[in-house]
Amino acid sequence: MKSLFQKDFFGGGRIDETPHLSKAFDMPSPSERDLKFIELAFEQARMALASGNLPIGAVIVHNDQVISRGHNLVDSECSDLNHAEILAIRKIERYLFKHKGACEIFTTVEPCLMCMGAIYNFKFSRIVFGCKDLNAGFSTRRADLPPSFVRRNAEVIGPVWPKESVALIRDYCERTGRRTHLLDAWT
């Protein structure tokens, strides 16, 4: 029997077509505060786009203060590790280590498994994202994660601005002609 990852990845249904799992991803609505910080993440995404990168941005917040920002630099620095979330985390990883469970992350696109690994390891209390990523987003692949990893108690809110997120990604694809196959993965 195929896992949900294999079923989805190899052409089967998407996670939201699986009723017993979709309930696990019912997410609360964003607050005005959330929208303020997600707008800052969008500023970072626009910086990524301006530098020729896939427009994804992230901000990290502690006690209602932005303590780090990052935007995708994968294309310009030729490194698949330079995701917005990872770059924002790396800037302040010692601070995060000392404040596990007290910080939040706001990102324009649902984090991938690599980014979620870092987010979960630093025990972020909340994750707010702009649009789902049906290609590589963590909620699509969550069924394949070990139970100890999934049980982390981060509150997840999203998608909060899917149209805005997809519009930036579409702009990137039109400008660069790259990654156009990914447009179907962002909703």
Q: Is 132 left (phi over 0), alpha (psi -120 to 50) or beta?
A: beta
Non-local CB neighbours of 7 within 8 Å, separated by 6+ positions: 13
Q: Give the residue numbers marked as catalytic.
A: 85
Residue 96: its H or E element: helix 93-98
Q: Are 93 and 74 in contact (CB under 8 A)?
A: no
Closest to 137 in 3D by CA, of 121, 153, 114, 104: 114
Angstrom distance (rounded) from CA 35 to CA 32: 5
> What tokens appear for 114 in the block?
């690599």
Closest to 129 in 3D by CA, of 54, 42, 66, 1: 42
